[in-house]
Chains A and B, each alone.
Chain A
Amino acid sequence: MNEQEILAGLGEIVEEIAGVPADEVTPSKSFVDDLDIDSLSMVEIAVAAQDKFGVEIPDDQLKDLTTVQDVVNYVSKNAGGSA
């Protein structure tokens, strides 16, 4: 799974949960400031990301992931060989 695939998958998740069009979910965007996503939606996104990518994002890590690229990097770094 490369970064493009993670980004595309993340875009689908954000669209489903927060109603933000997937094509607006670009790497430099901040979830809170640019996409208007609150902390509860971030938890839902993290849970959906775990289902989709097999990577758990605990709450104490989640608070440091502010941009779309941060999440893509986190998933990419923590994805197991089988993901």
Chain B
Amino acid sequence: MTSSGSPFAPAAGARILSLGGYQPGNVVTNDDLATQVDTSDEWIRSRVGIISRRFAGPEESVTDMAFEAGAKALAGSGLSPGDIDLVIVATCSTEASIPNVSAVVAHRLGIVAPGAYDLNAACAGFCYAMANASDAIRAGTARHVLVIGSEKMTAWVDPTDRSTSIIFADGAGAVVVGPVADGEPPGIGPVAWGSAGDMAEKIVIADRNSFLQQEGQAVFRWTTTALHPIAAQACERAGVAVSELSAFVPHQANLRIVEAIARRLGVPRERVADDIVHAGNTSSASIPLALSRMVERGELKSGSPALLLGFGAGMCYAAQVITVP
């Protein structure tokens, strides 16, 4: 036992070691949707900025997608399953709440007896989970953490509701988080998080037999007014100027929300993630999906600071600056 009583020596900070993204095979275009609801490619592109998205098949679960993304991240980390001692899955779209996704995914990945829990902060879930992972490593309650965001939003969206069916989609993204070397600065900055429960009724799934409903205009106003100060606060806490960011990776809610927040924060458009264009809104999966794709394409310089901002139902929000692996 270490002197702190924790299973591991406390670390000075945590960082992302590797990333992995997974999208189901079924590509759904705007024209495909227009055969089901009264909409059009032009309308969807101009309102939400999506060109195509992926839908999971009927047999493909949140757990299946979490496994795929988790396996990629784990492979990229160079660690073995036995090195992971905590698995956190951010999700708000499982078909059933028992058993949790994290323990099942851990088992399928060959991770033996890790701490495992699911976390629901809706579309902010991934950033909440990252904060938990970083804190666990810093405290010495975990050494290596697998953080996954996985969502099957289509299970909770009415395919005949054109206000939501054109936006939401399915997918998963994952990262492996580990300690920084002695003397190195943290690669996951202090979180700026919070919630606005007074607005909770703006995005709801009323019960297990209901579909997701949201008040689009009210949500749009909240996201474009309340969140850029949170993002700025995360930068301030990390000691990074907005101008120094190599990328701003907000939750891919709607391209116009993404662009409006970026404009108010003062991030140039070319540094803003726009993964929604071909992924749709995948709730807690959208940030790790976007980030993994940007890293895969070599768009982000290793070691540079990127700002993550999750926000959504609750209304929950969280932001932190991370170092690109």
Contact = CB atoms under 8 A, between A and B. Distances in A.
Nearest to B221: A43
Nearest to B225: A47
B218 interface: yes
Interface residues of B, number: 11
Mostly, the A contact residues are helix
A81 B186 CA distance: 49
Contacts of B47: 38, 40
A39 B217 contact: yes
A33 interface: no
A23 interface: no
Interface string A37-48: 011100110110
B203 interface: no
A40 B132 CA distance: 34
Contact of A47 (B218, B221, B256): B221
Nearest to A36: B46
Interface in A15-69: 38-40, 43-44, 46-47, 59
Given A40-B47, A43-B224, A44-B224, A59 B260 contact: no
A59 to B, nearest CB: 6
Interface in B222-257: 224-225, 256
A59 B225 contact: no
B260 A44 contact: yes
Contacts of B225: 47
A64 to B, nearest CB: 14
Contacts of B224: 43-44, 47
A29 B216 CA distance: 25
A78 B209 CA distance: 45
B237 to A, nearest CB: 25
A76 to B, nearest CB: 22
A2 B217 CA distance: 30
Nearest to A38: B47
A41 to B, nearest CB: 8
Interface in B53-108: none
20 contacts: A38-B46, A38-B47, A39-B217, A40-B47, A40-B217, A40-B220, A40-B256, A43-B217, A43-B220, A43-B221, A43-B224, A44-B224, A44-B260, A46-B221, A47-B221, A47-B224, A47-B225, A59-B217, A59-B218, A59-B221
